[in-house]
Amino acid sequence: MIGPAVSAASFCKNSQLIEELTADFPDAKLNRTGSVIQGQELIEFLSGYRAAIVGTELISEQILDSLPSLEFIAKYGVGLDNIDQQALKRRGIGLGWTGGVNRRSVSEMALAFMIGLCRNLFLTSTKLRGGEWDKRGGFQLSEKTVGIIGCGHVGHDLLQLLQPFGCNVLIYDILDKSDVCKEFGARQVSLDELLETSDVVSLHVPLTDQTREMVNATFLQQMQNHAYLINTSRGYVVKESDLSAALKSGVIAGAALDVYQREPADDLDFLSLPNLVCTPHIGGNAVEAVLAMGRSAIFHVRDWAAKQ
């Protein structure tokens, strides 16, 4: 069967995307469980289908070994760290993906975290609900030093959003970003300089061997003790045990996380730290972003099917 089989739960919760998909593929199979399916359950769901739309489900060598009919995968979302791309290539399985399709949704959230942390919006709101009238208003984001680690689609978009604030923006990236720096008046610097001088550090990197747990005790010790850390990229970029220790001891002032090493996140001792703001991986889930990600996946399946 061509399908596609759509295992991405978020896609299958969106009636508009379902309508647009089934207009072209009336026999599409939908994951109606409302949750991520993995392992043997995923194999059974995708079995017999030539095409699939996947979200955060792990597509490993072992999964692909059990899906001999599969010829094409379209990604709902932007991260590819859950898909073994080399295993796809070895089997001749195509991959449809559009980078940065949800960039504005994520960059807006990173900016919201920055303002909320700097101005004590989150902390004082929590205290007020508990009956405490804390008048500390924090500091303005305007004209502060913001460090952006990883200047791809989202990092570049965040640079644009920061322009009215007159921030001193520092960039750390493994690629030459001189054109971006020239366009927005930023500076590309070493990681050491960025950490030592930034008032806010925002992470926008993919998950790779180089970035896995790059935010550890050493990294955090280099930051200023009044600085804030924001992660809207991938959970395993941050070693949560080290971040927890840094937040408890005052190594940094606070942090905001939208992604976690384990999802759904369930370490309540960590999540309840007063200087940690936490959201349930919704950075790319603005209504507009969900439609953009879904339509991208539909486009790639439609394009593949037209060539069959």
Q: What is the pLDDT of residue 289?
A: 96
Rounded distance between C-alpha atoms, residue 238 and residue 217, angstroms:
10
- pLDDT classification of 308: cutoffs 50, 70, 90: confident
Kind plus residue range of the DSSP H or E element containing 29: strand 29-30
Q: What is the pLDDT of residue 271?
A: 98
pLDDT score of 218 more than 90: yes
Q: What is the pLDDT of residue 287?
A: 95
pLDDT score of 228 more than 90: yes
Classify residue 52 by burial, with Cβ atoms within 10 Å: 0-12, 13-18, 19+.
buried
At 123-136, the pLDDT tens digits run 999 999 999 999 99
Q: What is the pLDDT of residue 59?
A: 97
- pLDDT classification of 210: cutoffs 50, 70, 90: very high
At 247-290, the pLDDT tens digits run 999 999 999 999 999 988 999 999 999 999 999 999 999 999 99
At the fourth CATH level, the homologous superfamily of domain 103-278 is NAD(P)-binding Rossmann-like Domain (3.40.50.720)
pLDDT score of 169 more than 80: yes
Classify residue 163 by burial, with Cβ atoms within 10 Å: 0-12, 13-18, 19+.
exposed
What percent of the chain shows pLDDT beyond 90?
Answer: 95
> CA quadruple 91, 95, 99, 102: dihedral positive or negative?
negative
> Catalytic amino acids?
234, 263, 281
- pLDDT classification of 2: cutoffs 50, 70, 90: confident
Rounded distance between C-alpha atoms, residue 8 and residue 31, angstroms:
7
> CA quadruple 260, 262, 265, 271: dihedral positive or negative?
negative
pLDDT score of 194 more than 80: yes
At 11-26, the pLDDT tens digits run 999 999 999 999 999 9
Mean residue pLDDT of the chain comes to: 96
Q: Are 273 and 247 in contact (CB under 8 A)?
A: yes
How many Å from the N-terminal Cα to the C-terminal Cα in the chain? Answer: 12
Per domain, the residue ranges of the chain are: 5-101+286-306, 103-278
- Partners of residue 276 on adjacent β-strands: 255
Cis peptide before 264 (omega within 30 of 0): yes
Q: Are 265 and 278 in contact (CB under 8 A)?
A: yes
Rounded distance between C-alpha atoms, residue 295 and residue 23, angstroms:
13
pLDDT score of 31 more than 90: yes
Kind plus residue range of the DSSP H or E element containing 267: none
Give strand ranges (E) for 38-191.
Answer: 51-54, 72-75, 94-96, 145-149, 168-172, 187-188
- pLDDT classification of 9: cutoffs 50, 70, 90: very high
CA distance to 100, 101, 179, 186, 298, per residue, from 183 (Å): 19, 22, 6, 8, 34
CA distance to 149, 169, 185, 254, per residue, from 179 (Å): 16, 14, 10, 32
The secondary structure of the chain in percent helix, strand, coil, rounded to multiples of 5, reads 40, 15, 45
pLDDT score of 85 more than 80: yes
Q: What is the pLDDT of residue 79?
A: 85
Rounded distance between C-alpha atoms, residue 107 and residue 101, angstroms:
12
Asked, colleague to colleague, whether 5-101+286-306 and 103-278 share their fold, the answer is yes
Residue type, 177: K
pLDDT score of 1 more than 80: no
The CATH code of domain 5-101+286-306 reads 3.40.50.720
What pTM does this model have? 0.91
Q: How many CA atoms lie within 13 A of 6 on its CB side?
A: 28
Residues in the chain: 308
